[in-house]
Chain A
């Protein structure tokens, strides 16, 4: 965990760890895991709100809890940039992490695989592997997506690749 900022570190320590090693094909054990996922997500979301650092919404898109959709946002220069967020729980979960997708940014940055999957190889995958099965969706958002947004969104905004939603009118005037 060297090199991580203190805020991420302290957030991470407060997200409950998971214990059940089960994926979507494991029947009842998956239901137990899903409960742990919810508890971690509830704790993390609650924590973000109380720290005035609310930055995502996520909920299961199907009853099996294998597909998740929501929103995430990042504030840069006092403007809020919001994106759709989605991912599938892979059959080999939790051995392999979910591949987090921001479909609206597909093709706008090199640090992304096809379909809008954000690149997690260097900063996140080793951590996930090391902490299997204790890390869950909440940890993937905290350690995978949050640093990615912090690194990429300012660059994308400054280079003009993405525009603020209120900005389209004003930019054409100037």
Chain B
């Protein structure tokens, strides 16, 4: 194309010189300008970059990772290149999930697993990432198209399915277990699951899968009125699971009665979703690359620019059986954890020169370790910090199930029951 345009320019030049009549000069000049413009445009035609074998810290325009590797030189991250070993599963490729996927792709994440059953619609265009020409494509396909262009180094796997159905769930579980990317990895095949779904049902499904697989995951959400959101870290057995307490929502901070709920089911803003995706991926990077403080819960109230944080212990009476198992395992592993913590403290103490921090202690002040006390108490989430409320009520206590003999009436065969309903349906 470049060559063709060049030849066209030359031809125009020759034509200009050979034409005796100056009246055509202006239109030839105009043509020339158009061709030059086209030549410029042609330079930006899609040219895919080739894969990069090693992440280089070299500061040149052509290195896609130079600014990321600079995190190492600045002392923020110890080993940035480790990011290429990590697999992250993103469930829900909507307003938050797609942006999170793009951020991780640009960060050079090793592998992304993308789950969604929906298609791109024009109604999605008020959010980031998807483009109008992708309308009609599945969100997973459209995401793979864009992401592989942005960074061909990332291994992308897309799963177009609904994880809440029995069949979808099986596929979801087996895809998380699969360890082809890094066979030596302990546990499941992924390092982190990010839930970017827009409903309670799907969150409970991600919770179920992660509890069963003992898989650390992060939850994210944006309220239906688009003015608040949250992210939450869930480590099975160690922190509250999603079923331990009714889900938390960031209170709007304005009189609830002034909020209109009639008419529509959900509003959305690219800003709120972008902020939440940013918070989510920031927490992800800190968790994976081990820097800074990984937030257990971070809320975002857009109307007041208020960011509540909190921690939640697991509920010993959680309704999720796998959660209870993980809690038991976590308690059993306590001695090993203590020993590791002690060894770490000692190692650090060796580095720091042995001298008392304060030479005199006139008031006999001593520091008491209270972190372990917090861990053992059963309080999970009854006391909420300001600005947070529960989204749903807890199930009422109900009497122990009566013995089956007394409740089952005369008919207790599934096929009979089915026939009975069919008979009712027939007339």
A residues contacting B by CB (< 8 A) are: 19-21, 24-25, 31-32, 34-35, 38-39, 41-42, 45-46, 49, 57-60, 64, 66, 70, 88-92, 95-97, 99, 110-114, 119, 121-122, 125-126, 129-134
Contacts and interface: CB of A to CB of B under 8 A. Distances in A.
A35 B164 contact: no
Interface of B: 118, 121, 162-166, 169, 199-201, 204-205, 207-208, 224, 243, 246, 261, 263-266, 319, 392-396, 398, 401-402, 404, 407-409, 412, 414, 417-418, 420-422, 424-425
A57 B421 CA distance: 9
A59 B421 contact: yes
A129 B418 CA distance: 27
A25 B104 CA distance: 34
Given A92-B205, A126-B393, A25 B166 contact: yes
A99 B409 CA distance: 29
B265 A110 contact: yes
Contacts of B401: 19-20
A95 to B, nearest CB: 6
B165 A91 contact: yes
5 contacts: A57-B425, A66-B165, A92-B164, A111-B264, A121-B224
Of B205, B421, B422, the most chain A CB neighbours within 10 A belong to B421
Contacts of A132: 319, 395
Contact of A90 (B201, B422, B425): B201
Contacts of A32: 404
B116 to A, nearest CB: 11
A111 B265 CA distance: 5
Main secondary structure of the interface of B (DSSP, over half): loop
Contact of A39 (B166, B265, B394, B417): B417
Contacts of B417: 35, 38-39, 42
Contacts of A119: 265
A95 B201 CA distance: 9
A86 to B, nearest CB: 12
A41 B421 contact: yes
A39 B165 contact: no
A108 to B, nearest CB: 13
B405 to A, nearest CB: 13
Contacts, number: 113
Contacts of B224: 121
Contact of B421 (A38, A111, A114, A121): A38
A99 B199 CA distance: 11
Nearest to B224: A121
Contacts of A88: 162, 164-166
A32 to B, nearest CB: 8
Given A35-B417, A121-B224, A91 B208 contact: yes
Nearest to A36: B407
A131 B395 contact: yes
Given A39-B417, A91-B205, A130-B396, A46 B424 contact: yes
**Interface pairs A-B: 10 shortest CB-CB:** A38-B417, A129-B392, A96-B201, A92-B204, A90-B164, A119-B265, A91-B169, A110-B264, A132-B395, A45-B424
Given A95-B204, A122-B261, A60 B418 contact: yes
Given A59-B421, A121-B265, A125-B200, A95 B243 contact: yes
B409 A131 contact: no
B413 to A, nearest CB: 8
Contacts of B208: 91-92
A56 B319 CA distance: 32
Contact of B420 (A42, A126, A131): A42
Given A90-B164, A92-B204, A96-B205, 5 more contacts: A41-B421, A42-B420, A59-B425, A112-B265, A114-B118
Contacts of A38: 414, 417-418, 420-421
A64 B425 CA distance: 19
A39 to B, nearest CB: 7
Nearest to A117: B199
